């Protein structure tokens, strides 16, 4: 842990330094941005989970809600085509 801090301190003292031809501060910036976004994604996933729990406690079928969300992401023509195929396959199976 202290080695990492010492490395950061050295980099801060010489922000333009390169190690092995790599701009260390640019690399660090990219990694830190990705790490921040991953933390945000984790927080958002938790929020989504809470919303689905709320929907379930209100009596909604979460599986159907997920299907609706998936359908809303698609183009209307794609949804219509999938629905037509589903109907065709179900008729072929006598359903």
Q: What pLDDT, in 10s, does the model give residues 58-75?
A: 999 999 999 999 999 999
Residue positions counted in the chain: 95
Structure pTM?
0.63
The pLDDT, as a whole number, for residue 6 is 64
Given CA atoms 23, 28, 33, 37 in this order, what sign does their dihedral have? positive
Contact of 16 with 28, CB cutoff 8 Å: no
**SS3 state at 23:** strand
């Amino acid at each position: 842990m202290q080695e990492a801090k010492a490395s950061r301190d050295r980099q801060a003292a010489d922000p333009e330094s390169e190690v092995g031809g790599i701009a260390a501060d640019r690399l660090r910036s990219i990694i830190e941005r990705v790490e921040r976004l991953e933390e945000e994604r984790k927080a958002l996933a938790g929020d989504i989970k809470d919303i689905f729990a709320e929907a379930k406690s209100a009596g909604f079928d979460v599986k159907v809600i997920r299907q609706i969300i998936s359908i809303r992401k698609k183009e209307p023509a794609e949804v219509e085509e999938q629905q037509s195929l589903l109907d065709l396959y179900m008729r072929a199976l006598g359903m």
